Chains A and B, each alone.
Chain A
Amino acid sequence: MKQIKQIAGKALAGLFLIYVVVVCLGPLIWVFFQAFKTNKEILISAFALPKAFRLDGFRVALETAPILLYFRNSVVISVVNTGITVVAVSMAAYMTARFQFRGKRFFTLMLSSSLLIPVSSLLMPIYLLLTKMGMIDTMRGLILIYAALGLPTSLFILQSTFQGIPRELEEAAYIDGAGVFYTFFTIILPIAKPGVATAATLHFITSWNEFMFALVMTKSASVRTLPLALNYFTSQFSFNYTAMFAAIVLSILPSILVFICLQEQITASMVSGSLKG
């Protein structure tokens, strides 16, 4: 009886995994194949394989939109702002996770509220602000906005990470006379590496794909980001789906690479047994 149950459980789990793989990998494979089809093939037989592997889509994509330049900008902006968010938020999250202080609940609620503000209401005030600060059409401007956009989600993730770390570790450090800074940066953060990497990954992906602020706050090609390039291929009365999907492929690949790398970091830190409960 127990064996049957176990086998059934394993089969169910297996089925579930297959479902996940199909549903999640399907879209990626589909996008990938579209990049090699002609417009006609894409529109007439959406799920057929390409008749031939033409690279025209990639050529046209690179010619039509300044993809490489936007790509560079995206890398700089995403990396820098992710760094800022993660440092700023992990410091604050450590405080809220570990210590009691007046206004703590207010602080977290206030930051969470930023999770809820609709982007369309933010556009104009932020535009005015950046203008005043001379940051319109600069990478600094976008970096600042994106860093702030990451506050709430990263705060939640890091706060629960810190709460999950046993207190004994740092208490020992404090008894030895170590300061808060030292303890935080040398003891707590390394242990919280998986959470930090998770927050960083998610925030990286969010800022990599952000569109509306990038559109409104920038105007020069030298500061614009990759999501803006995808619109080059569909205007109201003309379209080039082949090139658009080629551009999408070019923009997805780096995200996936970053994701894999950061996830490997998490895994490595777990496996090496750096975590002692």
Chain B
Amino acid sequence: MKKRRLAVIAAALGTVMLAGCGQGSGSGGSAQATTQAAESAAASSAEEPAAKAEAKEGAGEVIQIDYPTFMCGTASVAGWFQERCQAFNEQYAGKYEIVVEEIPNTQDYVDKMKVLYSSDSLPDVVNTGGYNIIDMMQDKLVDLTPYVDEEWRSTMSDIGIAVNSRDGKLYGIPSTRQLVGYFYNKDLFAQAGIEAPAKTWDEFFEQCEALKQAGIVPMSMDTADSGWCTSLFLGAMTASNEAGEEFMNTLQPRDYNVPEFIDAVAKVQRLFQEYTTPDSIGGDYAAAANNFQNEITAMIANGPWMVQNFYDTTKCEEGFYEKVGTAMYPEGTMYNAAQTGWHVAAKTPEKIEAAIEMIKFMTSEESQKLYLEVTGNICDRNLTSDKVYPLVNEVIENAAVSTYNINDYQSLWYANVVDEVSVQYPLLAQGEMTPEEFAAALTAAAEKNEK
């Protein structure tokens, strides 16, 4: 008797619960049954790929390489990775297979890696796209020194090896280089009577004034997400002498109370107050880029990966790329630095071997050449190709003759300092804080990283 009651109850409960859109599920009787069916269906479909993989593994001993990637979605490197991944899986069919997890946003990517690290479950291969995780996760990353023979090593740049090494141990295979100057609009420069990009910062501010007088907003700037375009100028202004150059090559500086830095902050404050659009305060990279691409502003600091956007007619007018010029910063400063590359966190010898093969493939001459050609990002190997966007080649040429070579703040500074920059910029811009106070705020943030 009791059992029957329960059944009735379950059915009644079901109709209340999931009666949802009337006719649709109401006719199905017990919704609890539906629920269970749905759950088991869900579970089985979730396990399906795993089961398939196991079957495969049994037959051909395919070693799977877990690799979460940010190279997907609208990222400039998405197409490149998709093609390379397929090529690898084909070439090594029956032996290795890359199992990709897509994490479209680099911030989310790093957040997830931290959780995985803290629960000792990092994937086999990690590549953050330049965000430094070596100092944080050193103990879980494989020292690659024994796996890299002389021949392979000779293909990597010295600075690439340096950035990926700690105490003589290699924790990452370098793959990209950061070459960043700024872009300017030749037409708008001509309208203001400017012939060539400035050689000194004084001249630079004169040019800004000339543009302003001609009714043109000189600069694209931003403050959101660490104010990328703004901070690039900040770093370049800091590095206008040797001491400043050294500061902009220091990993995780603790003290921002440096004359060159404070001087640069004052210059940025002036740019905010006189030479940029009102939407720059609080604005993000997209808004800054858009202002430049629609000829509202005359200059933007950004890397060569931006070049492919100059050809995108949903973002700028047809033929816009012909108006764009490239420049190094005044005093001959360029961002010219190596970035952290491919890390291995696999645990078994077989997996490590597989991971090494994958990275070898991804950093081979063929792959790196494609990388340069397709994405406009600069590869670690010293390569040239005539299929590269002309503007990208210009950036490479600029870097070859630059006086001061620095690294960018996102790779160097503590993550919380980078975050602090974006909340302090608005205060600086509105004159609510002095350059000294700005530097002090960053120092205070950096000090929080004492272990």
- Looking at chain B's contact residues, the main secondary structure is helix
Contact A231-B104, Cβ < 8 Å, known A80-B35, A128-B119? yes
Q: Is A40 at the interface (CB under 8 A from chain B)?
A: yes
Q: Is B87 at the interface (CB under 8 A from chain A)?
A: no
Q: Is B42 at the interface (CB under 8 A from chain A)?
A: yes
- State which residues 412-445 of B face A: CB under 8 Å: none
Q: Could you pull out 20 A-B pairs where Cβ atoms are within 8 angstroms?
A: A38-B314, A39-B290, A39-B314, A40-B290, A64-B74, A73-B42, A76-B39, A83-B18, A124-B118, A181-B9, A196-B16, A232-B102, A234-B105, A235-B74, A236-B107, A237-B228, A238-B309, A239-B74, A241-B286, A264-B22
User: What's the count of A-B pairs with C-beta under 8 Å?
Assistant: 174
**Bound: A265/B302 CA distance, A:** 54
Is B112 in contact with A235, judged by CB distance below 8 angstroms?
no
Q: Which residues of B contact A220 (CB under 8 A)?
A: 46, 49, 101
Q: Is B8 at the interface (CB under 8 A from chain A)?
A: yes
Q: A124-B119, A237-B302 are in contact. List 5 more A-B contacts (CB 8 A).
A: A83-B35, A139-B43, A235-B73, A235-B105, A236-B107
Is B43 in contact with A222, judged by CB distance below 8 angstroms?
no
Contact A143-B42, Cβ < 8 Å, known A235-B105, A237-B302? yes
Q: Is A43 at the interface (CB under 8 A from chain B)?
A: yes
**Bound: A139/B303 CA distance, A:** 40
Q: Which residues of B contact A258 (CB under 8 A)?
A: 20-21
Q: Which residues of B contact A44 (CB under 8 A)?
A: 290, 294
Q: Which residues of B contact A83 (CB under 8 A)?
A: 17-18, 31-32, 35
- Contact partner, B43, options A128, A138, A221, A262, Cβ 8 Å: A138
- State which residues 223-260 of A face B: CB under 8 Å: 223, 228, 231-243, 257-258
Number of interface residues of A (CB under 8 A): 65
Q: Which residues of A contact B19 (CB under 8 A)?
A: 265
The contact string, 1 if C-beta is below 8 Å from chain A, for chain B 299-319, is: 000110110010000111000
**Bound: A215/B293 CA distance, A:** 33
Q: Which residues of B contact A86 (CB under 8 A)?
A: 17
**Bound: A193/B352 CA distance, A:** 57
**Bound: A258/B25 CA distance, A:** 13
Q: Which residues of B contact A127 (CB under 8 A)?
A: 115-116, 119, 121
Q: Is A131 at the interface (CB under 8 A from chain B)?
A: yes
Q: Which residues of B contact A221 (CB under 8 A)?
A: 102
Q: Is A261 at the interface (CB under 8 A from chain B)?
A: yes
Shortest Cβ distance from A268 into B: residue:
B22
- Contact partner, B74, options A123, A200, A216, A234, Cβ 8 Å: A234
Residue among A73, A232, A236 with max Cβ neighbours from chain B (10 Å) = A236
Is A232 in contact with B104, judged by CB distance below 8 angstroms?
yes
Q: Is B6 at the interface (CB under 8 A from chain A)?
A: yes
Residue among B31, B46, B112 with max Cβ neighbours from chain A (10 Å) = B46
The contact string, 1 if C-beta is below 8 Å from chain B, for chain A 122-144, is: 01100110010000011110010
Q: Which residues of B contact A38 (CB under 8 A)?
A: 314-315
**Bound: A128/B121 CA distance, A:** 9
Shortest Cβ distance from B47 into A: residue:
A138
Is B6 in contact with A181, judged by CB distance below 8 angstroms?
yes
Q: Is B190 at the interface (CB under 8 A from chain A)?
A: no
Is A231 in contact with B112, judged by CB distance below 8 angstroms?
no
- Contact partner, A232, options B42, B74, B225, Cβ 8 Å: B74
- State which residues 171-200 of A face B: CB under 8 Å: 179, 181-182, 184-186, 189-190, 193, 196, 200
Is B16 in contact with A237, judged by CB distance below 8 angstroms?
no
Contact A124-B46, Cβ < 8 Å, known A40-B314, A241-B286? no
